[in-house]
Structure 1
Amino acid sequence: MTSKTRAKKLINAPEDIITEAIEGMVSAHPHLLRVEGATGRAVVAQDGPRDDKVGIVIGGGSGHEPAFAGYVGRGLADAAAVGNVFASPSPEQILDATRAANGGVGVVYLYGNYTGDVMNFDMAAEEAAGLGIECRSVAVADDIASAPAARAHERRGIAGDFFVFKIAGAAAEAGRDLDGVEAAARAALANTRSMGVALTPCSLPQTGKPNFEIGETEMEIGMGLHGEPGMRRGDMAQADAVVDELMAPIMAELAFKAGDEVAVLVNGLGATGLLEQYILHRRVAAILAEAGIRIHYSWVGEYATSLEMAGASVTLMKLDADLKTLLDMPCRTAALTVGDVTERARASRPDRTVAAVFEKKVETRETHLAKDGPITPTIFRAMVSLAGERIGEEAERLSALDGVIGDGDHGITMDIGWKAVRAALAQSPADETIETSCKRMAKAFLDAVGASSGPLYATAFLRAGTAVKDRLNLDAGAMAAWIGAASDGVQERGRAAPGDKTMVDAWVPAAEAARACAEAGDDVLACLDAACAGAERGMNFTRDIESKRGRSAKLGARSVGHIDPGAASTAVILAAMRDAARDLLA
């Protein structure tokens, strides 16, 4: 499939794919699954959650089926939070899963080690703590190709999720306490390593276009589940040679010795059939046998896919007595059944549903606010609405920028979030303050978007609104304060700094330029012009630097020469806000 070819997909409206997929999954497995919560994104085990059992909540983006909801069921996960394609679930979606899984003795979150997932699950854990639910998080980081052993905490999660989920679910089913379940999950992770190979790209349902390019005779060793770069790109090789290259670093890191036992997963990425997967397993088994390592059990098939990407991964989990016992414990889910699971009546549990802490009462009327300044709440909302409109117009370009150094969905994700913002602002009372509109924007964006953009922009809007809470209208100083606080919020939540090749590289110079303009006594339009010029400079600066944060950080020097999509979308947003203000104040 070339970049000009649109992939054929059996879908209806692209915006309905997740809702319809969840509906189809539950209708296919009604004895195993149900949906709980207002978001409609928490898939819950019919025979899983119960009082006095540690809850297991897993989650991540769609497009990796059967991960994640396929591992919900008795003896494994109690609930899964389902995000958009290749995007983390939002905190509210995770909270729906948390409330469903809560048995009163804590919940363990398990998810892949991606920036968006970490931020969204962290925010959900903060909210859950306010509800009296203690949550522990284990970010699965099993992909050897994504960082060296010395920086193992930076590695991404790929098919190793399978083993970590199984071990944690068994530990919870066995009645271990919160500390014990977390310890079991971490032990599984410490003994699990993966590496994969990609042969073709996949295409996002919203665009139908390949999310990266790879030559017809090439393969990428170590590529991630979203098309993130691997260790090297080269000519196609025979199956045995590929397995040898995948297995060598796994074997070295797990430090096997003769007589050890191991669990094996050969995982297809979506378009590689069992015929090829069994050929790969044949070589894996031969390598292990030559080293005197016994295979306790193998799984071969599609367990963590990447839409229709061609390729496969190999995962090994080195077993000790406890991991072996937990691995063998029964479970029953749509994607995995181990042993015989005794039928059990669905337990009745007290209603633990509590309104999320994030759902704070929205105040719409404020008094004693500063009224000087030309940017009224109505004008501010028009500025924000035009920003959302422009993001929609630029979504394809922004996704194309992301396709070069990321997973190709930035424009799509931003468009989803900004459409939600525009819809929320359309419900604003005429006398709503700018601070309250910012709170409304934050919640709308966060509920609509997982990924990293959700928490980043939600935090930016909240901080920006707080910065102008004493004002009804914005003058130049207040507008600069709003931009500066948004910039601070992005840095705070994303823990990124200028020079990391992220949206921070556009927000920081925009904030600095706006502040300098206000301090010089210029008017609000001049401050917005300065902010736009600063964002443009910062965006162009990202072309010449290596990425140090997020998925593109694994590219290293290969990221040079490409503009960061987050910086580009920042420039679009600020330019639209400036244009709207100019038109309305003319």
Structure 2
Amino acid sequence: MTEFRTKRLLNAPEDIVTEAIAGMIAAHPDMLGSEGATGRAVISLDGPREGKVGVIIGGGSGHEPAFAGYVGRGLADAAAVGNVFASPGPEQIMDAARAVEGGAGVLFLYGNYTGDVMNFDMAAEECEAAGIPARSLAVTDDVASAPAERAHERRGIAGDFFVFKIAGAAAEQGRDLEGCLAAARAANAATRSMGVALTACSMPQTGRANFQIGPEDMEIGMGIHGEPGMRRGKIETADAVVDELLAPILADLGLAEGQRVAVLVNGLGATGQLELYVLNRRIAESLTARGVAIHRTWVGEYCTSLDMAGASVTLMRLDDDLQALLDMPCRTPALTVAGALPPVEGRVRAGRARQAAQAEAAIDLGTLATSGPVTPQVFRAMMRDTADAIAANRDWLSELDGVIGDGDHGITMDIGWTAVRGVLADAAADETITRTSARMSKAFLDAVGASSGPLYASAFRMAGEAVADRLNLDAAAMVAWVAGLRDGILSRGGASLGDKTMIDAWVPAVQHAEAALAGGGDVTACLAAAEAGARAGRDHTATIESRRGRSAKLGARSVGHVDPGAASAHVILKAMHDALAARGIG
């Protein structure tokens, strides 16, 4: 039987984000522009100005009109745009920050996902180092993703809409950085959402459904990347669905008679206005019956999940300040609130000067150890073979991720390793393994973002530093390089053994490699042992519950499924071993 693939209007899947940004700017040339070498910073033409806090939002593509659709006067000053379902990287975020920073600092706003947190944290660190005050807030509105006592673990979904609006209005009003952060925190604390999915979404690169859901089923509490929710059951009436979505939202907000709310009824990509208005009818009835006043309602697509059918409901409990900020005028491609916007004075000059790059210290190759069969040329050949292996396993890794995550892990790893392959081609013949590792680190991070970007960027950097005294690698140095990968991932990600992450493959891989080294194993034998350890760790992840990342919300539902990060770790180590074995290197 022919496999069904989603039909899309695109050119090359790898160009979809770049071309979409170009098309968006072409549609709104009076509002939007782009800045920076990455091409992923969409900026407001008439919002940023000297003395005003720069509000920078961001996240992965596939949620349109979020995030760039909320860039404009009175709302966000810039958006950093990542790949599909993947966080932007620090350099993309910094392009946005440099373009709109007006001397009053910047406020980063994003959904509470591991990749976004890591990448925006790295950008905030870079801002502070450059003398730009920076604050961050991760939106946590999804009541389905964690109980109230662990609200800080909740996902950010369509509630971004209200938090972004409030923070943008506070900045437009002239509040300082701490004041804008306080307003954003107040909005986040007052906002709750919950969604339902009727169909799966599909990634542009694969055209296949990220997960399986029966033709008569629905998933209550679904995330905006296809993450499973609280329960799966048969499709119910619109009123019954609304009642189930509203109940935890109302309970969590503690709404009482006489209070006011703003309402967002959001389509996830393939549910039309006709159905959304049916949902809103029941929401209005329910709130009115409880004596809760509805101040404003928005119905439409505001934070989507590619082509997923379904919807989410968001309420923001209003006080006088939140209501006033919500009502302030703004003008963006996705949201306009009518009202007079005074002319902009003291506009920020776009693209502030970058700090001068530090000159790389020259290395005396004659001081480096030359024992060992893995020369810089052999090392680069190993890395090219690894990139090929990741590409060959891309769809399989994404399928693994689609079951317990958002279905993009293989795609993300392939993007990162394709960037690595590019810098390998540029390497001088005598470039050291440490220098090559450093360039791999930057290439991966600039290309990927997501959680894999910071993790593997740290991994390559620390691996290279572990062999900085060597030109060639012997068995001990090869094990040290692999251990550096593990250490870099641990230092940036914070996961532990047993959390059902890539660490569950990297830790036993290093343990097995060190044992082989202690037994006198050569380079190839040590990598064979590392591969065996990674394979055992990968397989073990299928027997445990996830405690980190998006799949942590699944609990027992994650058992029986291999962690995709652990699977890609095994692919990497197997490719490294096979590259040496094929060349007869021992």
Could you say which TM-score interval applies, normalised by the shorter chain?
over 0.9
Q: Secondary structure at the match of 1:544?
A: coil
Aligned to 1:508: 507
Deviations 1:90-136 (A, max 9, x none): 11100001111201111000000001111111111111222111211
Provide the C-alpha distance between the structure 2 equivalents of 1:464 and 1:392, rounded to a whole number of angstroms: 22
Deviations 1:414-451 (A, max 9, x none): 10100000111110111111110010000000010011
Q: Secondary structure at the match of 2:370?
A: coil
* 1:352 shift after superposition: 5.7
Provide the C-alpha distance between the structure 2 equivalents of 1:61 and 1:513, rounded to a whole number of angstroms: 37
Q: Contact (CA 8 Å) 2:61, 2:84: kept in 1 or not?
A: yes
Q: Secondary structure at the match of 2:435?
A: helix
Q: Which moved more, 1:371-380 or 1:108-117?
A: 371-380
- Structure 2 counterparts to residues 357-372 of structure 1, below 5 A: 360-362=358-360, 365-367=363-365, 368-372=367-371
Distance 1:351 1:284, change over 3 A: closer
Aligned to 2:189: 190
Distance 1:211 1:585, change over 3 A: same
Distance 1:165 1:48, change over 3 A: same
Provide the C-alpha distance between the structure 2 equivalents of 1:444 and 1:362, rounded to a whole number of angstroms: 17
Provide the C-alpha distance between the structure 2 equivalents of 1:440 and 1:3, rounded to a whole number of angstroms: 42
Aligned to 1:543: 542
Provide the C-alpha distance between the structure 2 equivalents of 1:120 and 1:476, rounded to a whole number of angstroms: 34
Q: Contact (CA 8 Å) 1:364, 1:429: kept in 2 or not?
A: no
Q: Contact (CA 8 Å) 2:43, 2:71: kept in 1 or not?
A: yes
- Structure 2 counterparts to residues 235-314 of structure 1, below 5 A: 235-314=234-313
* 1:521 shift after superposition: 2.8
Aligned to 1:525: 524
**Alignment of 1:11 onto 2:33:** no
Amino acid at match of 2:422: A
Q: Contact (CA 8 Å) 1:119, 1:452: kept in 2 or not?
A: yes
Q: Contact (CA 8 Å) 2:437, 2:464: kept in 1 or not?
A: yes
Q: Secondary structure at the match of 1:224?
A: coil
Q: Contact (CA 8 Å) 2:100, 2:350: kept in 1 or not?
A: no
* 1:364 shift after superposition: 6.7
* 1:355 shift after superposition: 2.9
Q: Contact (CA 8 Å) 1:364, 1:436: kept in 2 or not?
A: no
* 1:341 shift after superposition: 3.8
Amino acid at match of 2:177: L
Aligned to 1:27: 26
Amino acid at match of 2:293: R
Q: Contact (CA 8 Å) 1:58, 1:79: kept in 2 or not?
A: yes
Q: Contact (CA 8 Å) 1:48, 1:78: kept in 2 or not?
A: yes
Aligned to 1:143: 142
**Alignment of 1:373 onto 2:355:** no
Provide the C-alpha distance between the structure 2 equivalents of 1:364 and 1:22, rounded to a whole number of angstroms: 40
Provide the C-alpha distance between the structure 2 equivalents of 1:553 and 1:60, rounded to a whole number of angstroms: 20
Aligned to 1:393: 392
Distance 1:138 1:322, change over 3 A: same
Aligned to 1:534: 533
Q: What are structure 2's unaligned runs of at least 5 residues?
A: none
Distance 1:248 1:533, change over 3 A: same
Distance 1:583 1:451, change over 3 A: same
* 1:4 shift after superposition: 2.7
Q: Which moved more, 1:146-155 or 1:516-525?
A: 516-525
Provide the C-alpha distance between the structure 2 equivalents of 1:307 and 1:487, rounded to a whole number of angstroms: 34
* 1:516 shift after superposition: 2.0
Deviations 1:57-104 (A, max 9, x none): 000000100000000000000000001111100111000011112011
**Alignment of 1:206 onto 2:205:** yes
Q: Secondary structure at the match of 1:157?
A: coil
**Alignment of 1:166 onto 2:169:** no
Provide the C-alpha distance between the structure 1 equivalents of 2:260 and 2:342, rounded to a whole number of angstroms: 31
Q: Contact (CA 8 Å) 1:406, 1:552: kept in 2 or not?
A: yes
- Structure 2 counterparts to residues 472-483 of structure 1, below 5 A: 472-483=471-482
Q: Which moved more, 1:337-346 or 1:372-381?
A: 337-346
Q: Secondary structure at the match of 1:74?
A: coil
Provide the C-alpha distance between the structure 2 equivalents of 1:448 and 1:563, rounded to a whole number of angstroms: 26
Amino acid at match of 2:76: A
Distance 1:348 1:161, change over 3 A: closer
Q: Which moved more, 1:485-494 or 1:365-374?
A: 365-374
* 1:520 shift after superposition: 2.9
Aligned to 2:319: 320
Aligned to 2:178: 179
* 1:266 shift after superposition: 0.4
Provide the C-alpha distance between the structure 2 equivalents of 1:356 and 1:223, rounded to a whole number of angstroms: 43
Provide the C-alpha distance between the structure 1 equivalents of 2:400 and 2:557, rounded to a whole number of angstroms: 14
Q: Contact (CA 8 Å) 2:36, 2:351: kept in 1 or not?
A: no
Amino acid at match of 2:45: Q
Provide the C-alpha distance between the structure 2 equivalents of 1:239 and 1:552, rounded to a whole number of angstroms: 28
* 1:584 shift after superposition: 2.9
Aligned to 2:467: 468
Provide the C-alpha distance between the structure 2 equivalents of 1:311 and 1:467, rounded to a whole number of angstroms: 49
Q: Secondary structure at the match of 2:287?
A: helix
- Structure 2 counterparts to residues 560-575 of structure 1, below 5 A: 560-575=559-574
* 1:366 shift after superposition: 3.5
Q: Contact (CA 8 Å) 1:397, 1:411: kept in 2 or not?
A: yes
Q: Which moved more, 1:459-468 or 1:515-524?
A: 515-524
Q: Contact (CA 8 Å) 1:66, 1:304: kept in 2 or not?
A: yes
Amino acid at match of 2:295: H
Provide the C-alpha distance between the structure 2 equivalents of 1:78 and 1:214, rounded to a whole number of angstroms: 39
Provide the C-alpha distance between the structure 2 equivalents of 1:390 and 1:90, rounded to a whole number of angstroms: 24
Q: Contact (CA 8 Å) 1:365, 1:432: kept in 2 or not?
A: no
Aligned to 1:336: 335
Q: Secondary structure at the match of 2:566?
A: helix
Deviations 1:431-472 (A, max 9, x none): 111110010000000010011110110000001111111111
Q: Contact (CA 8 Å) 1:425, 1:437: kept in 2 or not?
A: yes
Deviations 1:298-324 (A, max 9, x none): 101100011111100000000011101
* 1:345 shift after superposition: 5.1
Q: Secondary structure at the match of 1:73?
A: coil
Provide the C-alpha distance between the structure 1 equivalents of 2:427 and 2:411, rounded to a whole number of angstroms: 25
What TM-score comes out, normalization by structure 2 length? Answer: 0.98
Deviations 1:388-438 (A, max 9, x none): 110001101111111111111111111010000011111011111111001
Q: Secondary structure at the match of 1:246?
A: helix
Q: Secondary structure at the match of 1:304?
A: coil
Aligned to 2:381: 382
Amino acid at match of 1:144: V
Query: For this pair of structures, how many residues does the alignment match?
Result: 584
**Alignment of 1:406 onto 2:405:** yes
Q: What are structure 1's unaligned runs of at least 5 residues?
A: none
* 1:581 shift after superposition: 1.8
Provide the C-alpha distance between the structure 2 equivalents of 1:6 and 1:360, rounded to a whole number of angstroms: 48
What TM-score comes out, normalization by structure 1 length? Answer: 0.98
Q: Secondary structure at the match of 2:308?
A: coil
Provide the C-alpha distance between the structure 2 equivalents of 1:98 and 1:515, rounded to a whole number of angstroms: 44
